[in-house]
Amino acid sequence: MTGPALDVIELMLTARIYNEEHALDPGDLPPSYRRAFWRTASGDVDDGNSDTDSESTDAADRHVPGTIQRPLTVTNTRISEATGISHPWDVVSELLFTQREEFTGKLSFSDEEMAEQWYLKRTDDERLLTNPTLAWRFEDEIEAVDYETAQSMNRPVHADRVWIDSLLEQVFDEDDEEMLDLVEVRSPQEMEMTLDDLVLTENQEAEIQKIVKAIEHREYLAEIGLREIGKLLLVGPPGTGKTSVARALAHGLELPFVEVKLSMITSQYLGETAKNVDKAFEVAKRLAPCIFFMDEFDFVAKTRSSDEHAAIKRAVNTLLKSIDEVSLIRDDVLLIGATNHPDQLDAAAWRRFDEIVNFPKPDDQMRADILRVITQRMEIENFDPAEIAGRTEGLTGSDLRLVMREAVLNALTEERTTLTQEDLLHAVDGFEERDNLKNMDMINGDPDALIAGSDDGGHDHSHHHTDD
The three-class DSSP label of residue 380 is strand
The pLDDT of residue 392 is above 70 = yes
Give the per-residue pLDDT at 442: 43
173 plus 89 within the same structural domain: no
Which SS3 state, helix, strand or coil, does residue 381 take?
strand
- The domain that holds 373 is classified in CATH as 1.10.8.60
Co-location of 115 and 168 in the same domain = no
Is the CB of residue 10 less than 8 Å from the CB of residue 123? yes
Strands (E), 344-434: 355-358, 379-381, 418-420
If asked whether residues 182 and 308 sit together in one domain, one would say: yes
Least confident of 168-172, 248-252, 304-308, 363-367: 304-308
Res 302: pLDDT? 60
The answer as to whether 464 is a domain residue is no
Same domain flag for 40 and 114: yes
Residues 134 and 163 in one domain: no
pLDDT value at residue 229: 84
Q: How far apart are CA 328 and CA 332, in angstroms?
A: 4
Residue finishing a domain among 106, 127, 154: 154
Longest dimension (CA), the chain: 84
- Number of domain units in the chain: 3
In this model, does residue 361 exceed pLDDT 80?
yes
Sign of CA dihedral 225, 226, 230, 234: positive
User: 234 lies in which domain range?
Assistant: 159-358
Percentage of residues of the chain with pLDDT beyond 70: 78
My answer on whether 191 and 122 are in the same domain is no
Which range is least confidently modeled, 56-70, 98-112, 349-363, 420-434? 56-70
SS3 content of the chain, % helix, strand, coil (to 5): 55, 10, 35
Q: Which helix (H) or strand (E) holds 116?
A: helix 112-122
Same-domain check for residues 325 and 379:
no
Name the pLDDT band for 57 (thresholds 50, 70, 90): very low
User: Could you please report the per-residue DSSP string of 171-189?
Assistant: H--GGGHHHHHHEEEE-GG
Ranked by mean pLDDT, which of 301-305, 420-424, 437-441 comes out on top?
Answer: 420-424
Note whether 167 and 148 are same-domain residues.
no
15/171: higher pLDDT: 15
Name the more confident of 79 and 41. 79
Nearest residue to 405 via CA among 424, 421, 391:
424
